[in-house]
Structure formats: C-alpha cells, structure tokens
Amino acid sequence: MATETVILAYSGGLDTSCILKWLLDKQYEVICVLADVGQKEDFTAAEKKALKIGAKKVIVADVKQSFVEDYIWPAVQMGLVYEERYLLGTSLARPCISVALIEVAREYGAKYLAHGATGKGNDQVRFELCAYALKPDLKIIAPWRDVKFCCQFQGRQDLIAYAQQHGIEVSAKPATPWSTDANILHISYESGILEDPNTVAPENLYQMTVDPMTRAPCNPIRLVIQFDRGLPSSVEDLAGRRVYTKPLEMLDFLNRLGGFYGIGRIDIVENRFVGLKSRGVYETPGGTILFAAHQDLEVFALDREVLRTKQVLRDRMADYLAEQRVSGKVTVELAPGYSRAVARKASNNVGALYNEQLVSMDVHGGYVPQDAGGFIAINAVRIREHVRAFGAYEVPTKKN
C-alpha cells in the first residue's frame, strides 16, 4: 500500500509535535501547516522543529489579510456577538485556518486531515464541518478522540515523557496553568486554574492589554472611525493625526491603542456547541472598539424595524437567497374543498437536498448509523447536566 499523506494543523507546541511523531509512527507522510493568523510565534523555529521530528514538508500560510478582510470585517458589519458578550475571536479564526489546510490538501492530493483539538471543545467541530463543506472526501484524524491515543497520553506529563523519549524539543519555559489561543483579533484563556468559575483570573495572564486601573494613561483619547456600508473604512487618531485605511493596519493600530488603554477584557461563562458550559477569559482590544462604534452608527443609520430584523438574522448565518433553490415540480391533487401535494420532483438530479439513498432504510447511502450514538450522547450532555444539578426530571402525570 502506498503511503498516505496527512495534512496536520501544526502549532509548534507540545501537543501537535507529539501528534506529528505519532502519525509518522503509523507510517503516514505528514505535511505540517502553520497558519499565521497573527499569533506571536517563532514560525522559523516551529518549522525546524517539525522537520527535525520528521515532517515531509512544513508550510507557513500567512492568512492574516484574509482573516481580517473576509472574516473579521464581515463579523463587525453583521455585529456578531455570542451570548451577548463574546466577540468570536477563535470561532472566526478556525474557518480561515481550515481554508488554508484544505488548500494544501488539494495541492498535495492528501486524503487525511489531522488536528490536535480536544474532544470536549468546539474547535473539533469547526475544523471538521469546514472540511466537510469544502472537501467532503477528506478523512479526519482526531487523535484526542482516539481511544488508544487517549490511553497513551493521559496528561501533560505523558506528552513530555514521550517527547523526551523521541528527541522532541520541550520548551524550557514552564507551562502556564491555563491554555491560550491567540490571533490578531483576540487572545483567549481557559482551562487549568480558570476552570473554577469563582476564582478571579490573575493579572499576569493578560498579554494584549495593560491593567486599565494601574497602567493605562490618565487621560482619554478620541478616535474617528469611518464605516462604509457597515465595513470599517478608516481610523483617524485625533491626537496624532494618523489615518489608517488598510484593514490589517487599522486593526493593528486599534489593538495597540486599545491594549494601551486596557480595553476589551471579558471574563465569562459560556455555552459550548457540544453542550458544556465553560469559563473563558478574553482580551479583544481592537475588536471591542470596532464593535461598539459600529453598533452606535447602526442604530443611528437604520430604520427601527430593519434594525430589529437584522438583530434576528445576526444569529442565523443562512443563505438569504434561498429561493433560488426552490425549483421543481409538485403534483397536486384537487378534491372537493381542498388541494394537497401528493408528489414532488426537483428540477434536476442534484437540485434538492432530498436523498433517497440516504434516507432509505435498506441501504446505507453514506450515513453511518453508529455515528448517531455519539450524536445522541452529545445532545444529551445538557440533559445529563440538568439531571446532575436539579435531579432527574419528574415523570409527567395527569394534571389536576
């Protein structure tokens, strides 16, 4: 059998370095992709490290401009905010990174995509749904959902031991007691000591923003932010007479200034898509400034009812041009007093989402029934939590 190629979403850190080695041990050829979304990282060192471990190739994809223009700017325009507080810094980055991974997979004809996202988080969902949408024939390798992998690596110590055993360089710097995800829009912190929601996050955690109380300047500053059709088009510093008009520069400037003033820190508990509640601390200096400015202009500019409608749509990322797909024939039966559809057919073979093969009870049609067990189990996480917190639901009985 020919050796199969795996595209690995590589970060240079301990986890994905061990995964790289683990994949090589399974006889895969591995191409590492490091997507640069603005995180502060020594990409050259990471590249060397991967090559030394045995990667066939390491590709550093600078997607910062696309991240700002195709993801962050539209999110500002749409006013996207999750559960009223989270500005979606990681959620927006994952699809952007996925596009870079898929492009490499296409270029090198890879059949596999591996990532180091955990089995309890949203990142696995983001990476994999993107892959299914963009290149559905790609097979996913998710080591943190692999039973054997999870047995072998039960904690950070196992990873360190494995790394040392296989000559993988381990950072001398002691790990922070929390995990971090950084990009040009935000840095998020979670896990470790932050898992206790009643513990205040330590001041030394923050990297993009100063402590607003003790280290920010004592005088306010005013900016003028211009929007065009809802997209930021220029930022003007009233004090220094600087004007920025390129999206990446605008965001970078607002990040620096916002960080200087300690703007954009939030500490929240949020609901994950996989049904868990988690606690996260975020700093999003430039995004926070942009979001508030856009919100103000929007209420100012839009009709009241248009605004209400937009707020409803905000949480629903659907294709508004949906009717383009409603093409086909319906057989209608007329009888005294009523008519009803009795049969229907889409305009062409691929023209509708109904799939006779898929729904058939007699053939599989690409649907794996075993997946439903996991689907139900994850959907049940919220129910189990409810039972844990408040006791089992009562059996409904006849009302009096």
Span 303-362, contacts to a copy of itself by CB under 8 A: 303-313, 316, 318-320, 322-347, 350-356, 358-362
Residue 124: CB minimum distance to a copy of itself, A? 6
Angle at which helix 89-108 crosses helix 123-134, to 10 degrees, equals 40
247-260 and 285-301 helices, crossing angle to 10°: 110
Rule CB under 8 A: is residue 207 a binding residue for a copy of itself?
no
Q: Which 3 state secondary structure label does DSSP give 200?
A: coil
Query: Does residue 257 belong to the site contacting a copy of itself (CB under 8 A)?
Result: yes
Near a copy of itself by CB under 8 A: residue from 262, 282, 283, 284: 262
What residues between 180 and 199 interact with a copy of itself by CB under 8 A?
191-192, 195-199
240 in contact with a copy of itself (CB under 8 A) = no
Task: Using the Cα atoms of residue 171, residue 173, residue 175 and residue 178 in order, give the sign of their dihedral.
Answer: negative
Question: Are the CB atoms for 112 and 138 separated by under 8 Å?
Answer: yes
For a copy of itself, the binding residue among 116, 133, 148, 151 (CB under 8 A) is: 133
Q: Determine the interface stretch with a copy of itself among 21-29, 49-57, 159-167, 374-382 (rule: CB under 8 A).
A: 374-382
Residue 177 sits in the site that holds a copy of itself (CB under 8 A): no
- CA neighbor of 282 nearest in space, from 125, 85, 127: 85
- Chain Cα centroid distance, residue 41: 19
Catalytic (active site) residue 171: no
Choice from 230, 251, 282, 284 touching a copy of itself (CB under 8 A): 230
Cβ neighbours, 10 Å, residue 210: 17
Q: Footprint of a copy of itself on residues 22-41 (CB under 8 A)?
A: none
CA torsion 317→323→325→330, rounded to 10°?
140
> x/- string (CB under 8 A) for a copy of itself, residues 61-90?
----xx--xxx-----x-----xxx-----
Residue ranges in 281-300 that form contacts with a copy of itself under rule CB under 8 A:
288-289, 292-300
The nearer residue to a copy of itself, 29 or 283, going by C-beta atoms, is 283
Listed residue (229, 266, 252, 262) closest to 74, CA to CA: 229
Candidates 225, 251, 283, 284: give the one binding a copy of itself (CB under 8 A). 225
The H-or-E segment that residue 244 falls in is strand 242-244
Residue 160 in contact with a copy of itself, rule: CB under 8 A: no
- Return d(Cα 111, Cα 108) in angstroms, integer: 9
Cα distances from 381 to residues 118, 197, 263, 327, in angstroms, run 16, 19, 35, 39
Angle value at C-alpha 205, between 235 and 143, nearest 5 degrees? 100
Rg of the chain on CA atoms, in Å = 25
256 is catalytic: no
Stretch that binds a copy of itself, among 4-12, 56-64, 165-173, 379-387 (CB under 8 A): 379-387
| Active-site residue, selected from the candidate residues 11, 17, 98, 123 | 123
- The residue (of 12 and 262) whose beta carbon lies closer to a copy of itself is 262
Which CB atom, from 53 or from 130, has the smaller least distance to a copy of itself?
A: 130
Check binding of 400 to a copy of itself (CB under 8 A).
no
How many angstroms separate the most distant Cα atoms in the chain?
83
Look up residue 38 and give its amino acid. Answer: G
Binding of a copy of itself by 59 (CB under 8 A): no
151 binds a copy of itself (CB under 8 A): no
222 is catalytic: no
Counting contacts by CB under 8 A, is residue 129 touching a copy of itself? yes
The answer to whether 73 and 61 are in contact (CB under 8 A) is no
* 94 tagged catalytic: yes
Q: Considering the complex, what minimum distance in angstroms separates the CB of residue 1 from a copy of itself?
A: 23
Rounded Cα–Cα distance for residues 260 and 157 (Å): 37
Q: Which residues are catalytic?
A: 15, 94, 123, 179
